[in-house]
Amino acid sequence: FCFSLLPALDCTVKYSGYLENSDKPFCTNCKLKFPQLMKLGKDITLWGLEIGLLTMKKGEAARFIFTPKYAYGSMGCCPVIPPNATVTFEVELHGFLDSAESDTFFELMAEQQRTFPLQKVLKVADTERQFGNYLYCKRNFEAAKERYKRAFSILHRCPSSEAEQTQINASKLPVLLNLSLTYLKLECPARALAYGEKALEIDRRNAKALFRCGQACLYMTKYAEARDFLLRAQRVQPFNQDVNNELKKLA
C-alpha cells in the first residue's frame, strides 16, 4: 500500500479504538468538542482506518474490525497493543476538505501561481476559507485569520475580462466578511473596519459588511459613524435582529 496514492484529504473525525474483548478504548478523541483536522497518510497512518475513511460520507458513523495486517501488524505497539492484535474502531466522519489543489498551489513559485488557471485559484481560495471557518468554529481566531488572509492574498490577480472580475469579487466578498468578523473577535476594530470597507467596495449594500463596520466603529466609540453604518444596514434588512439590537446598544 502506497501512502503517496492517497488523496490529500483533511478529515475531522471522532474515533475510538478497542482491543478484542475490551469495552475500554485504548485511544479516543471523543472527549473533544471539536476534533482536530487530520490528513490521511500523515496524521492518520493506520492502513485499515485510511481505507475505511475513504469509503465514508460526511456525517456517517461506522464500525470497522481490522485484522493485524490492516492494524498494528505482527509486532503490535507495546505496551498498549499486543502482537497480532485484531482491533475495532468506531468512527464518525464529521467532514473533510480536499486540500490537494491547495497543497499543489502553495508549492509553486510566485510566477507559476500567477499563471494558475482562475477556476483552480478560486477553488484554492475557497478551500483556505473553509479551513479558516473550521478554525473559527474552534475559536482559534488567530489561526483562522491567517487562513482567511492567505485566501485573500491569492485573489489579487489581474482579470482578463469583466466576467473574471465578477468571479474574483464573488470569492473575495465572503473572505473579507470573515476577516472583518475575526478581527472583531481578536479585538482589533480598526482592522475589522478596514476589511468591512473593502467588502463594501465590492457590494455597497451588503448588510453584513455594513453591520461589521458599525460594530467596529461602536467598539472604537466613533458613534456617529457607527450610527451611519448601522442605519444603512437597517435600510437593507429592516427586520435584522442583530442590527436592531446594535442600534439599541448605540442609543
Q: Would you say residue 147 lies in a domain?
A: yes
Q: What is the pLDDT, as a whole number, of residue 4?
A: 41
pTM recorded for the entire structure: 0.75
Nearest-angstrom CA–CA distance, 204 and 232: 10
What pLDDT digit, counting tens, does each position of 39-63 carry? 887 888 899 999 999 899 889 999 9
pLDDT tens sequence across 5-28: 455 678 889 999 999 989 999 999
Other CB atoms within 10 Å distance of the CB of residue 207: 17
Domain final residue pick, 99, 119, 150: 99
User: Is 67 in the same domain as 128?
Assistant: no
For residue 187, the SS3 value is coil
Residues 218 and 117 in one domain: yes
Domain identity same for 156 and 228: yes
- Whether residue 182 lies inside any domain: the answer is yes
Asked if residue 246 and residue 207 are part of one domain, the reply reads: yes
How many domains in the chain? 2
Q: Which three cell numbers stand for residue 207?
A: 448588510
Q: Do residue 95 and residue 149 come from a single domain?
A: no
Cell of 138: 474552534
pLDDT digits over 179-234, tens only? 999 999 999 999 999 999 999 999 999 999 999 999 999 999 999 999 999 999 99
> Domain containing 241 — which CATH number?
1.25.40.10
User: Does residue 169 surpass a pLDDT of 80?
Assistant: yes
What is the Rg, in whole angstroms, of the alpha carbon atoms belonging to the chain? 23
Q: Which amino acid is residue 82, in one-letter code?
A: P
Structural domain including 34 reads 9-99
